[in-house]
Structure 1
Amino acid sequence: MQNEATQKAFLGKIIIISTLGGLLFGYDTGVINGALPYMSAADQLNLNTFTQGLVASSLLLGAAFGAIFGGRMSDRNGRRKNILFLSILFFIATVGCTLAPNVAIMVAARFLLGIAVGGASVTVPSFLAEMSPADRRGGIVTRNELMIVSGQLLAFVINAILGTMMGDSSHVWRYMLIVAALPAILLFFGMLRVPESPRWLVSKQKDDEALGVLKRIRSEQDAASELAQIQNNLKKEKELQKAGFKDLAIPWVRRIMWIGIGIAIVQQITGVNSIMYYGTEILKDAGFETKAALIGNIANGVISVLATFVGIWLLGRVGRRPMLLTGLIGTTTCLLLIAVATAWLAGSPSLPYVVLALTVTFLAFQQGAISPVTWLMLSEIFPLRLRGFGMGMTVFCLWIINFLVGLLFPVLLGGIGLSATFYIFAALGLLAITFVKLVLPETKGLSLEELEQKFRSHGKKNLENDQTYAAKAAPVE
């Protein structure tokens, strides 16, 4: 029998190893920020504004499909085996990107890398949730979000170090990219030492194996109790008819789906990933030299990590709507100020520092309020029968909008300039604020069952109103 300290240590090892998937997610989405200026050179991949967007965003398109198939693969083969497969895919795609001789191979390799990122974005949180004790689940699962932003910060730091030390080498971008191979290797060998999710084992009628895993991370009494709870929950889920597109004919279901898609779009149209993917280009456009822009971009990564801590702390204390509205007002104001500053201070030596200060403030609002609320609300609004279908649809839409932002941003930047581009994002921010103000319900303090009843009641009330209107409008015989 293992003592409590041994059980906690083993659970801690599981968390650290599995969240390397989140670290890879963050590094691979952030590293392009610093690599892009170097790989765009004429003697390298010779990228124009469109191919820059294509290289950066091809990963995001792959992630959209990876998020869909990643969940299905982990249900079929197991969370552990799926993460092992993803670690291999991370490694192969990273090597492919590093050695890419032309744009076509780079885009293909980045698309494969995106499939790994998308798969990790759904598999790792599920694995963590199923391995965690109920009273620690929220804190443990949110560590993956922390590892994502930490991975982006690590990418910014590595970019700055390599850019400063090897900036005269035209191949420096290849060294930036290959660094991601190391955590991919660690993830693979680490997962070989990690057990399978007990919930998945029970779903495959491997109850004895599941109990054995639970006893390694829980007390014997808690392990037996949790096994019984898993068995009971799976029995209930099997009795539920799985949701699909046919359910969108039901008004209250359709409303939830539109709200979920709206939340996903709101998070992306703030333009956050234009800064996370093209922060170096933005600072260069504002007036920094490449090396100075790489160093300045570290501030964006640092504030993202710190703001994520604040966001996790705020979630239990502030309502979802006011938190999201505050975040959107903050980001929209920053976007508007960037647009104004780049127009009014053009050519001024102070402009790059003003832009850097505003991007840092923008990310404080985004990562401290908008992003945490987005993922929490998406996990809350869908009832059990709709959760898999609803999350799949909304996360797919989120990645597609992310892809479009990543693809079009450098085209807009090269075509209409920094100021006009950020005016567009500010206008989209106003639309996002309007959506949240008029449409988004408050979910804090309500159980998942109470939320479902609230949506059902709203749908029933609307249906009754529609029927009354139709009756009044009908011609009198």
Structure 2
Amino acid sequence: MNVMAKAEKKISSAFIYFFGSFGGILFGYDIGVMTGALPFLQADWHLENAASLVGWITSAVMFGAIFGGALAGQLSDKFGRRKMILMSAIVFMVFSVLSGVSPDMGGASAYYLIIVRMLLGLAVGAASALVPAYMSEMAPAKARGRLSGLNQTMIVSGMLLSYVVDFLLKDLPGEWAWRLMLGLAAVPALILFLGVLRLPESPRFLLRKGDEAQARKVLSYIRKNPVEIDQELASIKETAKEERQANQKTSWSTLFSGKYRYLVIAGVGVAAFQQFQGANAIFYYIPLIVQKATGQAASSNLMWPIVQGVILVVGSLVYMWIADKFNRRTLLMVGGAVMGLSFILPAVINWMMPNMNPMTIVVFLCIYVAFYSFTWAPLTWVLVGEIFPLAIRGRASGLASSFNWIGSWLVGLIFPIMTASMPQEAVFAIFGIICILGVIFVKTCVPETRGHTLEEIEEQGTNHGRVKASNPEN
């Protein structure tokens, strides 16, 4: 027992934060990998004119993630964040390999790959829900924005990794290229599994289960000040005590009770808007977007995803630098406004100057990605991780993740269908309008969370619920 205790004490806070957020690599890799694999898959299986099948193959992971996020959120409240992250890594490894070895069965091949990628999506959705919750519960309030932003850095690093892998494998025979691109996703999943084996459980989950001694030990890894540890334990215990006194039984209806409704709508709304704003249309289809704009073959445009990936990584680092210097709401509103204009202006310019350079839209897409990378991309997951009260955090985080993936799935599914029936500029203008609606939503429905403890944020929601109850006309 003493040997185990000594071994546990060797866990550094840097190790905990690194592998606590490493699940984002899986999330990011699978978002990005199909970008390069798709042109080769289309040629290998003759899907060039099958927009619906292409949409389903691309979006199947997101469809599975809808259910993976909700399921993992509920199970993590019962079994813990750490165990569910380990399970997600195993599922990801298995179905990544099965994607890479998809049999060529004629017309049935696409349906096999769609089903396997849906099952893979269970793990991707679980990671998207579990990592923000785990990181927010481990990070101190004063650094929660920056440390939770590690999740976004991991996501975009996973995307950039997949883009680089796609580029390096593009000269292989078409059949081998896309299979290796998809199958190599098992490697980061294995790394995640081995790293998380040494991670401790969340102190808030441990306290909720009555294990105060272990919760204190975990906090001692990541908090240097004993007084801070005592204060944080006392704050968490007080919240848990209030929940027990109320004999609260959490259910789906609990999420939308007067006490929690305000915070749940805010968190789930931001998560949904992030995807309906259309970012993943760029990430999944940028080679095809450039092909449609310039006439060049999509398989020869695999440098563009790398450009987008570099912008995303740089943006995530910018975010970590500014995360705790600016209010969350300010960054979301500024970012959303610029993103909306970046989508709308190409349509306006094309309407005024029908002979505009076709690469103009790609330039504006780069501007969109730059602002998305340090505003909506990281802040969505920071808010999801910190805005929900302890009693409903797992279930509410799962719901937010599911709505996020519903948006991602729909964008991935309908974008190739939309661009087959209308100009690209018009499609992006629609997404631009959604960006502006997102700004309005943040302005009117989202509270500020920067610098507040998780317990203070819960109190904001409780107070707002009381105000609504006493002033229903507001």
Q: State the shift of 1:174 in Å.
A: 0.9
Which residue of the partner structure matches residue 451 of structure 1?
Answer: 460
The total of aligned residue pairs comes to 459
| Aligned mates of 1:113, 1:153 — CA distance in 2 | 20
2:344 maps to which of 329, 336, 339: 336
2:372 maps to which of 366, 376, 380: 366
Residues 387, 130 of structure 1: alpha-carbon distance in 2 compared, 3 angstrom cutoff: closer
Q: Does 1:31 align with 2:33?
A: yes
Which residue of the partner structure matches residue 307 of structure 1?
Answer: 315
Pairing 1:94-109 to 2, within 5 Å after superposition: 94-101=96-103, 102-109=109-116
Which residue of the partner structure matches residue 89 of structure 2?
Answer: 87
Q: State the shift of 1:331 in Å.
A: 1.0
Residues 434, 80 of structure 1: alpha-carbon distance in 2 compared, 3 angstrom cutoff: closer
Q: CA RMSD in A?
A: 3.5
Which residue of the partner structure matches residue 278 of structure 1?
Answer: 285
The answer to whether the 8 Å contact 1:336/1:426 transfers is yes
Residues 29, 346 of structure 1: alpha-carbon distance in 2 compared, 3 angstrom cutoff: farther
2:134 maps to which of 109, 112, 127: 127
1:190 maps to which of 195, 203, 206: 195
Which residue of the partner structure matches residue 318 of structure 1?
Answer: 326
Q: State the shift of 1:304 in Å.
A: 1.2
Q: State the shift of 1:233 in Å.
A: 4.9
Residues 269, 200 of structure 1: alpha-carbon distance in 2 compared, 3 angstrom cutoff: closer
Question: CA offsets per residue over residues 128-173 of structure 1, 9 Å max, x none?
Answer: 344445655443332122101111111112112222x32x534311
| Aligned mates of 1:265, 1:199 — CA distance in 2 | 26
| Aligned mates of 2:52, 2:91 — CA distance in 1 | 26
Q: State the shift of 1:68 in Å.
A: 1.0
Which residue of the partner structure matches residue 471 of structure 1?
Answer: none
For 1:397, what is the secondary structure of its paired residue? helix
Aligned letter for 2:335? G
Residues 228, 422 of structure 1: alpha-carbon distance in 2 compared, 3 angstrom cutoff: closer
- Residue ranges of structure 2 left out of the alignment (5+ in a row): 104-108
Structure ID, larger Rg: 1
Q: State the shift of 1:45 in Å.
A: 6.2
Aligned letter for 2:43? A
Pairing 1:370-449 to 2, within 5 Å after superposition: 370-379=376-385, 381-440=387-446, 447-448=456-457
Which residue of the partner structure matches residue 474 of structure 1?
Answer: none
| Aligned mates of 2:72, 2:319 — CA distance in 1 | 27
| Aligned mates of 1:407, 1:309 — CA distance in 2 | 30
The answer to whether the 8 Å contact 1:41/1:47 transfers is no
Which residue of the partner structure matches residue 263 of structure 1?
Answer: 270
Q: State the shift of 1:67 in Å.
A: 0.9
Q: Does 1:154 align with 2:161?
A: yes
| Aligned mates of 2:322, 2:147 — CA distance in 1 | 16
Q: State the shift of 1:416 in Å.
A: 1.8
- Give the percent of matched residue pairs that are identical in Structure 1 and Structure 2: 34
The answer to whether the 8 Å contact 1:62/1:114 transfers is yes
Which piece of structure 1 moves more, 29-38 or 181-190? 181-190
- Residue ranges of structure 1 left out of the alignment (5+ in a row): 467-477
| Aligned mates of 2:218, 2:466 — CA distance in 1 | 42
The answer to whether the 8 Å contact 1:331/1:365 transfers is yes
Which residue of the partner structure matches residue 462 of structure 1?
Answer: 471
Q: Does 1:294 align with 2:302?
A: yes
| Aligned mates of 1:223, 1:441 — CA distance in 2 | 26
